[in-house]
Amino acid sequence: MSASETTQIHQPRERGARFGRRLMPAGRVLVVLLVTLLVWTLLYAPSMKRAADASPLGIRRTVSLAVLTPFAALSEWTGIGELAGAIERATGKEAGSQGGPFVPPPEDIPLAPRTPDEEGPGTGQNGGPGGNGNGGTNGNPDGGPNGGDGGATAEADSIRAPTPRQKLRVVIVGDSLAAGLGFFAERVFRPRLVVVSGQGRISTGLARPDYFNWPFTMHRIVDRFDPDLVIVMLGENDHQSLQTVQGHRDAPIGTSSWPTAYRERVEGMMRIATSQGAKVVWAGLPVSANRDLREHSLRQNAIFERAAESVDGVTYFDAWDRFRAPKGGYTAYVREAGRVILIRAADGLHFNAVGYTILAREIAKRASEEFGLSPRTFETAI
Amino acid sequence: MLFPTVDFAIFFVLVFVGHWLLNHLERPWKWFMIAASYVFYGWWNWRFVPLLIGVSAMAQLGAIAVSRARSPRLRLVVNGIAVALLLVPLAFFKYYGFLAVNVTNSFIALGMGYSLPLLQVVLPVGISFFTFMAISYVVDVYRGDFEVAGWTDTFLYLAFFPHLVAGPIVRPGELIPQIRERRDERHVDVAGASWLILGGLFKKVVVSSFLAAAIVDPVFGDPAVSSGPDALFAILGYAIVIYADFSGYTDIAIGVARLLGFRFPLNFDRPYAATSIQDFWRRWHMTLSRWLRDYLYIPLGGNRRGTRRTYINVMVTMVLGGLWHGAAWTFVFWGAYHGALLAVHQWRVRRGDVRDPDSGVAVLRRSAATFGLVCVGWVFFRADSMETAFVLLGRLVTGWATPTEFVTPMVVFTVAGMLALQYWPKSLGLWVQSGLSRLRPAPMGIVLSIALLAIVTLGPTGVAPFIYFQF
Chain segment A237-246, per-residue pLDDT in tens: 888 888 888 7
Average pLDDT value for residue range A171-194: 89
Report the share of chain B in percent with pLDDT over 70: 97
pLDDT at A89: 66
Closest residue to B196, CB basis, from A3, A20, A28: A3
- A contact residues 117-176, partner B, Cβ 8 Å cutoff: none
B358 close contact with A: CB closer than 8 A: no
3 state SS of A129: coil
Size of interface A-B (CB pairs under 8 A): 248
Phi, then psi, of A279 in degrees rounded to 5: -95, 150
Asked whether the beta carbons of A224 and A112 are under 8 A apart, the reply is yes
pLDDT at B37: 95
Flag if B449 and A9 touch (Cβ within 8 Å). no
Per-residue confidence band for B470, with pLDDT thresholds at 50, 70 and 90: very low
* Domains defined for chain A, CATH in brackets: 10-90 (no CATH), 116-377 (3.40.50.1110)
Flag if A47 and B263 touch (Cβ within 8 Å). no
Closest residue to B17, CB basis, from A9, A30, A87: A30
Q: List pLDDT tens digits, range A39-64.
A: 888 887 877 777 676 565 567 777 88
Question: Which residues in chain A touch residue B421, judged by CB atoms under 8 angstroms apart?
Answer: 1-2
- Residues A67, A71, A74: CA angle, nearest 5 degrees: 155
Q: Which of A52, A2, A161 is nearest to B267 (CA)?
A: A2
The H or E element spanning position A169 is strand A168-174
Q: Which of A349, A351, A254, A235 is nearest to A298 (CA)?
A: A235
Average pLDDT value for residue range B183-212: 89
Asked whether the beta carbons of A207 and A171 are under 8 A apart, the reply is no
Nearest CA to CA, how far is A67 from chain B (Å)?
Answer: 12
Nearest CA to CA, how far is B53 from chain A (Å)?
Answer: 23
Q: Is residue B233 pLDDT above 90, yes or no?
A: yes
Flag if B221 and A183 touch (Cβ within 8 Å). yes
Q: List pLDDT tens digits, range B242-280.
A: 999 888 888 999 999 999 999 999 889 899 999 999 999
pLDDT at A371: 92
Report the share of chain A in percent with pLDDT over 70: 74
Question: Which residues in chain A touch residue B178, judged by CB atoms under 8 angstroms apart?
Answer: none
- CA–CA dist A303, A311 (Å, integer): 12
- B165 vs A147, more confident: B165
Helix, strand, coil shares of chain B as percentages rounded to 5?
75, 0, 25
Flag if A3 and B225 touch (Cβ within 8 Å). no
Question: Which residues in chain A touch residue B418, judged by CB atoms under 8 angstroms apart?
Answer: 1
The whole-chain average pLDDT of chain B stands at 87
pLDDT at A104: 54
Burial of A115 (0-12, 13-18, 19+ CB in 10 A): exposed
- CA–CA dist B273, B419 (Å, integer): 8
pLDDT at A214: 93
- B contact residues 149-208, partner A, Cβ 8 Å cutoff: 183-192, 194-200, 202-203
- B contact residues 403-422, partner A, Cβ 8 Å cutoff: 418, 421-422
Orientation of helix B151-159 relative to helix B26-45, angle to 10°: 40
- B contact residues 288-347, partner A, Cβ 8 Å cutoff: none
- CA–CA dist A40, A33 (Å, integer): 10
Of B19, B163, B187, B325, which one is the catalytic site residue? B325
Q: pTM of this prediction?
A: 0.76
Question: Which residues in chain A touch residue B9, judged by CB atoms under 8 angstroms apart?
Answer: 37, 40
**Segment B459-464 long-range contacts (CB within 8 Å, at least 24 positions apart):** B459/B205, B459/B206, B459/B209, B459/B210, B460/B206, B460/B209, B460/B210, B460/B213, B461/A92, B461/A93, B461/A102, B461/A103, B461/A104, B462/A102, B462/A103, B462/A202, B462/A203, B462/A211, B462/A212, B463/B205, B463/B209, B464/A202, B464/A203
Flag if A87 and B453 touch (Cβ within 8 Å). yes
Q: List pLDDT tens digits, range A117-149.
A: 444 333 333 333 333 333 333 333 333 333 333
- A96 vs B416, more confident: B416
3 state SS of A303: helix
Nearest CA to CA, how far is A277 from chain B (Å)?
Answer: 28
Provide Rg for chain A, Cα atoms: 25
Closest residue to A10, CB basis, from B97, B108, B263: B263
Flag if A340 and B9 touch (Cβ within 8 Å). no
Question: Which residues in chain A touch residue B225, judged by CB atoms under 8 angstroms apart?
Answer: 186, 191
Q: Show me where the domains of chain B are located.
A: 6-180, 190-275+357-423
The H or E element spanning position A282 is strand A279-283
A16 close contact with B: CB closer than 8 A: yes
Nearest CA to CA, how far is A312 from chain B (Å)?
Answer: 33
Q: Is residue B376 pLDDT above 90, yes or no?
A: yes
Q: How many helices (H) and strands (E) does chain B have?
A: 21, 0
Flag if A104 and B461 touch (Cβ within 8 Å). yes
Flag if A6 and B452 touch (Cβ within 8 Å). no
Per-residue confidence band for B467, with pLDDT thresholds at 50, 70 and 90: very low
pLDDT at A114: 55
- A contact residues 236-265, partner B, Cβ 8 Å cutoff: 237
Report the share of chain A in percent with pLDDT over 90: 29
Q: List pLDDT tens digits, range A82-96.
A: 777 677 666 655 544
Q: List pLDDT tens digits, range B1-43.
A: 777 777 888 899 999 999 999 998 989 999 999 999 999 999 8
| Residue in chain B nearest A339 by alpha carbon | B105
Asked whether the beta carbons of B229 and B407 are under 8 A apart, the reply is yes
| Residue in chain B nearest A176 by alpha carbon | B464
Q: Is residue B120 pLDDT above 80, yes or no?
A: no
Nearest CA to CA, how far is A331 from chain B (Å)?
Answer: 8
Flag if A13 and B187 touch (Cβ within 8 Å). yes
Q: Is residue B173 pLDDT above 60, yes or no?
A: yes
Nearest CA to CA, how far is B330 from chain A (Å)?
Answer: 14
The whole-chain average pLDDT of chain A stands at 77
Closest residue to A37, CB basis, from B9, B186, B192: B9
Closest residue to A3, CB basis, from B6, B251, B434: B251
Flag if B108 and A338 touch (Cβ within 8 Å). yes
Catalytic (active site) residue B325: yes
Q: Is residue B415 pLDDT above 90, yes or no?
A: yes
Q: Which of A47, A224, A9 is nearest to B168 (CA)?
A: A9
Flag if B270 and A5 touch (Cβ within 8 Å). yes
Flag if B468 and A51 touch (Cβ within 8 Å). yes
Q: In whole angstroms, how far apart are CA A353 and each of A181, A183, A184, A289?
A: 9, 9, 7, 18
ipTM score of the complex? 0.80
